[in-house]
């Protein structure tokens, strides 16, 4: 779809044809414009991995805080 937009197709026509809003197409253009499909896939994989690592870090920080509270109450 982005290749069509880069080729000069009107955004409104593309949005109607693919069932997305024009704003979505503009967001995709800003994020993925100029990328090849493999680059976009790799970006999505990295974003997914980054989100997973952030969740793991948040869980570890919560565990650490809970352990600190537990140790502070015992002594």
Is pTM beyond 0.95? Reply is no
Number of domains in the chain: 2
Same domain, 11 and 22: yes
Whether the per-residue pLDDT at 75 is higher than 70: the answer is: no
The three-state (H, E, C) secondary structure of the chain, written as one string: CHHHHHCCCCHHHHHHHHCCCHHHHHHHHHHHCCCCHHHHHHHHHHHHHHHHHHHHHHHHHHHHHHHHHHHHHHC
* CA gap 59, 18 in Å, rounded: 39
Q: 57 and 47: one domain?
A: yes
If asked whether residues 67 and 51 sit together in one domain, one would say yes
**pLDDT tens-place string over residues 7-36:** 888 888 888 998 999 999 889 888 888 888
For 28, the domain range is 1-34
In the predicted model, is pLDDT for residue 64 greater than 80? Answer: yes
Residues 67 and 44 in one domain: yes
28 and 51: one domain?
no
């Amino acid at each position: 779809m982005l290749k069509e937009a880069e080729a000069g197709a009107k955004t409104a026509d593309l949005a109607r044809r693919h069932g997305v809003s024009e704003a979505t197409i503009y967001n995709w253009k800003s994020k993925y414009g100029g990328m090849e499909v493999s680059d976009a896939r790799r970006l999505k994989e990295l974003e997914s991995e980054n989100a997973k690592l952030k969740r793991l870090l948040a869980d570890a920080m919560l565990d650490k805080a809970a352990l600190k509270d537990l140790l502070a109450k015992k002594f």
